[in-house]
Amino acid sequence: MFACSKSESFDYSSLSMDFSKNKIEVGENTKLLEIPVILSGCRNDMPLSVRAEVQATDHSAIAGVDYELISKEVTFDACGTGKLLVRILDNKEVTEGTQDFTIDLKIQTEGVQTSMGSVKVIIINDDVEEEGLTGFYTLTLQTFLDGTKFSSEVGGVEVVKDEDIPGMYYMRKLALINGDQAFPLTAGDDLYFTVDDNGNISLPANQNIGDYGEGNGVICSLTQEGNPVFEPMVIRQEGKKLIFTAPLAGVTYSKEKELIPYYAFKNVVLEKTDLKKN
């Protein structure tokens, strides 16, 4: 067994340089964004030389105003994961909910392929007015698998601020209504979200939702393919709406450690209303 030297012939057509995903959502207060770039197709200890230029295209986001492309190129001397850097600029004049731009890899090494050489970066205006978060909301969502729409009663969900813990907000009476029947998203404690010093709203995973019949459950987010993600979910504030940026699931585990879903919803939105359900 031996490793090739850089001077030896190597078939670069077996290599592929790609982003790990084609869309990234970031808060306006993110500051420094690190985007993974993956070079695959050979052993990670095999020496080589691969280079790609990095170009950005403005859409609703504008270079120098909303973002700054720091990395002008990405280079590899072996297969593996690199990163390119983007500075997200906190534009206090922005009132839109989101802005976006695209980053493309322009591969300069002959033969190297790409299947995901472009990524759309969506900047979320996350300048949160904390005092405006409390109040009564209507919950709307769709089932993850077939898209059936459900909602709470108008103004049926109350958001309250914790008096002792800064940045902590509880969502009370999270229940979907169907005639005389109600399905609660938690049979345990109130679900909560947090607001950090930069105004970013997130929904922590693993919050207790109680026992729906198969054991004690917790919440998590889902990928678009339906895989569970036990990391905080970003909540985006747009006017009177709090928009969950990923599908939401309530899950538990069987004795065999298999995942059992209690529910899975997408397009989850809380919209503030002046009406209150008594």
In the Cβ-directed half-sphere of 114, how many Cα atoms lie within 13 Å?
Answer: 22
CB atoms within 10 A of CB 207: 18
CA angle 134, 138, 142 (to 5 degrees): 130
Residue type, 253: Y
Query: Homologous superfamily of 12-124 in CATH?
Result: CalX-beta domain (2.60.40.2030)
Residue type, 144: F
Listed by start position, the domains of the chain span 12-124, 130-273
Cα–Cα distance for residue pair 185/174, rounded to 1 Å: 6
The pLDDT tens digits along the chain (278 residues) read 233 444 346 789 999 999 999 999 888 878 899 999 999 998 888 889 999 999 999 999 999 999 999 999 999 999 999 999 999 997 655 555 688 999 999 999 999 999 999 999 998 876 555 557 999 999 999 999 999 999 999 999 999 999 889 899 999 999 999 888 889 999 999 999 999 877 889 999 999 999 988 889 999 999 988 999 999 999 999 889 999 999 999 999 888 888 899 999 999 999 999 765 54
pTM here is 0.57
Q: Are 107 and 15 in contact (CB under 8 A)?
A: no
Buried residues in 106-128 as b, exposed as e (16+ CB within 10 A) = ebebeebebeebebbbbbbbbbb
Output the CA torsion sign for 22, 115, 220, 84.
negative
* Closest to 268 in 3D by CA, of 166, 127, 129, 171: 171
